[in-house]
Structure 1
């Protein structure tokens, strides 16, 4: 709940009538940008006078008493929400929040974050940060602190951040200044790549829905002694992105504590074997009844194929931008699974174990695709033998064999 106010007299009434709900952090104090701007100069006068008298007792006139009351109240406020209004729209005046000494939650909506001043004083205490329709980059808030234009420094208490509905098209190294983040919402942006999330070793919940991702970020790496880094991740929302192939889910095999996964709205979610193809890439530790894929628990057959593909990615890169980075090495291990039950249909297949180490890995688990690959290799080898024997040309032989082979293959499939 948020109590909103647009003028000073209304603010005084609101604080006297509902101040207890604001002070116990059960509700936010919501101020218009214009009111906060008008308060800034008055609150600064109060602060200067108190500094002058060194916090001793002194007498103010009656007109000053209400301002003193507001000043004292704002210093005790835990949660602040700032919204634009008609009088402040497209205004370039700075909004100073330094007077909210005990602030633990800050929410800014539909205002450029560069208009917020004083944020750097809260980096040691702010726990919740919400910036909606306010950012172009993460660096604007986590490194520059909006209008402060400060140098990077650690946000030691920041636990949850909502940066949704912004114009963010890429992540940056400023995320390393928030190592304690466990919940991050980056939905409704323009992200194509989210690899830099690796630095958030305590992340448990991540919302990347409504972006432009084409593959699942490699939630792994070597940083601060953690391998993989996002070992604590339990909730992952990748809905409404551009994930085309299930092989792009390879990084899921490094998430042993994953409890909830959402891929709805991606092209791959319309595949007829989407759920079981996804299950191949899950870490074997999630093979329990509690795991939820797109709001539905896995059935027995889907749980049996979990862990069929294991992915271990090791990489070292800079902890901060000043440190050199290194390339990563990826390893895919296809474990042996005998008589795997496919869904609840009773159909089974054998998968031989294999191990490969490559720089870029694309693993195919779909049985039909593997059959096509074997057929293609068989036909091409026949064409090479025909060339060695001098019968016809390679191109004509290849074309003829492929057309006949695919015709027979399609007939057999039917």
Structure 2
């Protein structure tokens, strides 16, 4: 591979347009795109102490650009490079020259080939990885031999992480290195169990686990922290009981799952701040009076709930209000009957006590 030719072409290109691109990107943020081949060539070239002779191809233009660029996209490809026997995504490369990255995006790469993230861990706010990862630790641990992620340097400023459209089947403990993360997208993977790691992410409020292979969601309040938005669409979930104690939840998407009865759908009815609830694509929608019966599970709060994209209409409000009134009247009757029974039992015990005293005398 012509390392010098690739790097010299990049350097010449950036000597002409790099500064202009950086100024334009500062006004309207956009990604500058490299290939793994180009970054491999840069990594190899930086290990050589060979000056280039033409000023226009001076490698300093390339180095300066990498120092300054804030939004970087690395786009790989499948198969071989041209007619060579070199595989596109089998070339290792380093990003140690990137000192001001705010957003880093990999697509169609292999993150196992990436190194030199030490500066990016300090600056990046957004990480996107598509079609490039089987294991979360391949990126976050960066070939480290340390078993305990808590001993490694954390990503200090990251807010949004998008690991969707990969082959991830579990959430590795190294996820705790993203301590400041607020939004996590793990949709379109192969996850069955979320494990116990996400509870340690105190700032995480939005979690997308849609289109995975999740069946069981038992006691998820012990596995998640203060989640406000949870997307579980497109899984195989049959009931919502495991979510009934996620008290900070405001938005819940369970569309296209396996929920088939009202009881399973209504288990989240006591969540105090839930506002949006989506069950579209579940068999429960075939239940007679489905909407009013689900609304009924939210009690007096039902008018605040947006079910399947819309709030209760006037007819639904009237129906649910009547049912709630009947439930309330029934409960009051039951409470009164219970109280009367207690009073009667107490009177019987009292009279039995008097009779016992009289006999003793």
Q: Same fold (TM over 0.5)?
A: yes
Structure 2 match to 1:396: none
Is the 1:12–1:70 contact (alpha carbons within 8 Å) kept by the matching residues of 2? yes
SS at match of 1:176: helix
Structure 1 segment 34-45 matched on structure 2, within 5 A: 34-44=37-47
CA contact (8 A) 1:282 1:307 kept: yes
Instruction: Give 3-state SS (helix, strand or coil) of 1:286's partner.
Output: coil
Match for residue 230 of structure 2 among 198, 215, 236: 236
Whether the aligned pair in 1 keeps the contact of 2:255 and 2:279 (CA below 8 Å) is: no
Equivalent of 1:15 in 1, 15, 18: 18
1:32 aligns with 2:35: yes
2:276 aligns to what? 292
Instruction: Check whether the contact 1:83–1:110 (CA below 8 A) recurs between aligned residues.
Output: yes
Change (3 A) 1:25 1:40: farther
Q: TM-score, normalised by structure 2?
A: 0.67
Deviation at 1:264, TM superposition (A): 1.0
Which runs of 5 or more structure 2 residues have no equivalent in the other structure? Answer: 1-5, 281-289, 301-316, 332-361
Q: How far has the Cα of 1:23 moved from its partner?
A: 4.4
> In the aligned structure 1, how far is the partner of 2:127 from the partner of 2:22?
22
Name the counterpart of 1:190: 190
- In structure 2, the residue matched to 1:52 is none
Give how far 1:265 is off: 0.9
What is residue 216 of structure 2 aligned with on the other side? 215
Between 148-157 and 108-117, report the one with greater CA deviation: 148-157
Tell me the equivalent position of 1:166.
166
Post-superposition CA distance 1:342-381 (Å, at most 9, x none): 964944675999xxxxxxxxxxxxxxxxxxxxxxxxxxxx
Residues in 1 aligned to 2:296 and 2:229: alpha-carbon distance in whole angstroms = 21
**Distance across 1 between alignment mates of 2:90 and 2:109:** 10
TM-superposed deviation, 1:209 = 0.5
2:250 aligned to 256, 259, 276, which one?
259
- Superposed, 1:87-98 pairs within 5 Å as 87=81, 89-98=87-96
- Larger strand share, 1 or 2: 1
- 2:211 match: secondary structure: coil
Query: TM-score, with normalisation over the residues of structure 1?
Result: 0.59
Query: Per the alignment, do residues 206 and 307 of structure 1 end up closer, same or farther by CA in structure 2, a change over 3 Å counting?
Result: farther
8 A Cα contact 2:233 2:255, kept in partner: yes
Please identify which structure carries the higher helix content: 2
> Structure 1 residues 219 and 280 mapped into 2: Cα distance closer, same or farther (>3 Å)?
closer
Q: Secondary structure at the match of 2:123?
A: coil
State the number of aligned residues: 286
Change (3 A) 1:15 1:282: farther
8 Å CA contact retained: 1:215, 1:249: no
| Alignment RMSD (CA, Å) | 3.6
- Which segment is superposed worse, 161-170 or 13-22? 13-22
Query: Residue 130 of structure 1: CA displacement?
Result: 1.3
Return the alpha-carbon distance in structure 1 between the equivalents of residues 261 and 221 of structure 2. Answer: 30
State whether residues 158 and 181 of structure 1, in contact with CA within 8 Å, keep that contact through their aligned partners in structure 2: yes
